[in-house]
Amino acid sequence: MAELELRHLRAVCAIAEEGSVTKAAARLGLTQPALSAQLRSVERLVGGQLFERTPAGSVPTDLGRYVIRSAHVVLDDLSQLLSSARERASVPSQGPFVAAAMPMLWVTQLVDELRARFRCTEIRTEIDWSWQALLDMLVSKRANIAVFDYFEGVERRQLPNIEVRTLLNEPQFVAVAADSPLAAYDSIPLADLADLDWVALPPEYDAARMQINAACAAVGFTPRIAHHVIETGAARALISNGAVSLASPASRSWDGIVVRPLRGDPVSVRVMVATRTDGLIAGRAHEAFACAAHAYRAVVDRNPYFARWWDEHPEAHVELDAALRLVRPSRPQ
């Protein structure tokens, strides 16, 4: 059975636009009999007459107007498809983009930002608590970008073809049980936590360990680390039962836990962004940094206490704010 072809749709549209089979044939580089034969084929396929032959020329019938409108849609879609395919072929994808990160609250937003800016076959993540493992992925070219908390020793790593920048100095908040008297405070004095059990990451994963020990010593106590925990669910259960823990400032209060600032910001962590300067990010490390900036800023308002702190401490996120001026492109590049 014969089928409708793109040349048939172009023929119908040309006749409608020229108002004449003869003029349409000249425009398409066909003879008038050849174009008339195509028109008859289309009319047989759709089951009706598309044009009235009048002294003024070829005038579309009701069926003809419907077919012409639909033909324009098909031809426009085809044109857009070809244009997009040619553009993609001119700048071929360079494989997957891999983002290595600690389990931070803004990883999802980082993936969205990277996908919007970088042309690649896919965006993948590698999540690990170890900053050394993340940098190893970057050095061995198994990742394009890594985001992690600063640890002593980062600056001593040999990092060829890698740019490392500080995104911001992030204050550490604390999570306490919702039924604790401390939950009523807008900010919690560190000294008031002296008698509580602490939940903490294992030392090798805890970027704030030395800071929190020094800060607690300055107000007269040593934190009683009763629980070393990596799994979030277990940590939350311990906190809701009366323990305390440092917390990301963007963490929400829920399910028996509240998250509050420490009064005076005695503990903060540098959030780092490391990018390869070759491969997918060659010449575009500043754009990858901007992706991290936009992703982090997107979660600040999750916690109203952190949103207030953010407004009151612009000096802590100057580099991040500067990177926000680099807006998303209209399409990945």
- Does position 225 have pLDDT exceeding 90, yes or no? yes
- Most confident segment among 1-5, 281-285, 318-322: 318-322
Confidence band, pLDDT 50/70/90 cuts, at residue 332 = confident
Residue 252 has which token pair? 């929400």
Strand 244-247 vs strand 173-177: parallel, antiparallel, or unpaired?
antiparallel
Residues 6+ apart with CB under 8 A from 295: 106, 107, 109, 110, 112, 113
Q: What is the mean pLDDT of residues 277-297?
A: 94
Q: Is the pLDDT of residue 1 over 50?
A: no
Dihedral sign for Cα atoms in the order 304, 254, 223, 300: negative
Tell me what percent of the residues of the chain surpass a pLDDT of 90: 74
Output the six-digit token pair for 213. 């020990």
- Domains in the chain, start-ordered, CATH in brackets? 6-90 (1.10.10.10), 97-170+268-323 (3.40.190.10), 173-260 (3.40.190.290)
Q: Mean per-residue pLDDT for 189-214?
A: 94
Mean pLDDT of the 192-197 span: 97
pTM over 0.75: no
User: Average pLDDT in the 257-283 region?
Assistant: 94
Out of 4-18, 73-87, 281-295, the most confident range is 281-295
> How far apart, in whole angstroms, are the C-alpha atoms of residue 250 and residue 295?
12
pLDDT tier at 290, thresholds 50, 70, 90: very high
Residue range 241-256, pLDDT digits in tens: 999 999 999 999 988 9
Give 300 or 5, the one with higher predicted confidence: 300
Q: What are phi and psi of 107, to 5 degrees?
A: -65, -40
For residue 203, give both structure tokens.
């030392």
The pLDDT score that the predictor gives to residue 18 is 92
Q: Which residues pair with 244 in a beta bridge?
A: 198
Mean pLDDT, range 182-207, rounded to an integer: 95
Quote the CA–CA distance of 321 and 311 in Å, as a whole number.
Answer: 12
The pLDDT score that the predictor gives to residue 110 is: 97
pLDDT tens column, 67-126: 999 999 999 889 888 876 776 565 555 678 999 999 999 999 999 999 999 988 889 999
CA distance 179 to 184: 9
Report, as an integer, the average pLDDT of 192-200: 96
Mean pLDDT of 304-330: 94
How high is the mean pLDDT of the chain? 92
**Residue 95: per-residue pLDDT:** 74
Q: Please choose, from the candidates 96, 150, 118, the residue with its C-alpha nearest in 3D space to the C-alpha of residue 332.
A: 118
Q: What is the pLDDT of residue 138?
A: 93
The pLDDT, as a whole number, for residue 56 is 83
Burial status of residue 124 (CB atoms within 10 A of its CB: 0-12, 13-18, 19 or more): middle
